[in-house]
Amino acid sequence: MNCILCQRVIMEGISRSWYGTERFEVQDPVSFKTECVTDTVRAADEQTECVTDTVRAANEQTECVTDTVRAADEQTECVTDTVRAANEQTECVTDTVRAAEEQTECVTDTVRAANEQTECVTDTVRAAEEQTECVTDTVRAADEQTECVTDTVRAAEEQTECVTDTEQQKNRQNV
């Protein structure tokens, strides 16, 4: 009898390896066939368990891959959040720099306005000084005019005295 499905043949208490093409004469074919079927069923059960374990391992591997993908997605989200936070921080710094530049421009404008105000005050003081000089010149001219009038009056008085003296001399000579 040739049982290709069996890997071991048990016959009369002696174990012999089965190599596929070798024939053995079996004294009890029914018993041998039963054992062969039992071995085949056992092997099929073991194969089924093996397949079940493989499927289980594959499922666990799939879960592992899923967890890895989930963790990678979470890591990507974390990186995205970090980049977003960095961009917001950069915008904040940019806004701060812009505000500082505007504040500097404001201070510059204030200083410029103060300088212009100082120039205006300087011009006003200079104009007041020139006006004072003008008044001084006018007073000096008035004083000189007064002196001139005084000199004219004195000369007139001297002329009058001279005329008076001349008349008195005439009168004396006539007497």
Flag whether 173 is in a domain. Answer: no
Flag whether 2 is in a domain. Answer: no
DSSP-assigned letter for residue 153: H
Amino acid 33: pLDDT = 66
> For residues 149 and 154, what is the distance between their CA atoms, to the nearest angstrom?
8
Residue 112 belongs to domain spanning: 8-128+141-163
pTM value > 0.85:
no
Total number of domains constituting the chain? 1
Amino acid 1: pLDDT = 40
Tokens of 110: 């204030």
Flag whether 171 is in a domain. Answer: no
- Per-residue pLDDT 10s for the chain (175 aa) are 444 444 444 444 434 444 444 444 545 555 656 777 788 888 888 899 989 999 999 999 999 999 999 999 999 999 999 999 999 999 999 999 999 999 999 999 999 999 999 999 999 999 999 999 999 999 999 999 999 999 999 999 889 888 888 888 888 787 6
Flag whether 78 is in a domain. Answer: yes
> For residues 119 and 149, what is the distance between their CA atoms, to the nearest angstrom?
44
Flag whether 172 is in a domain. Answer: no
> For residues 125 and 171, what is the distance between their CA atoms, to the nearest angstrom?
67
Flag whether 56 is in a domain. Answer: yes
> For residues 112 and 143, what is the distance between their CA atoms, to the nearest angstrom?
46
Query: How would DSSP label each residue in 2-38?
Result: --TT-SEEEETTEEEE--SS-----S-HHHHHHHHHH
> For residues 35 and 43, what is the distance between their CA atoms, to the nearest angstrom?
12
> For residues 5 and 112, what is the distance between their CA atoms, to the nearest angstrom?
107
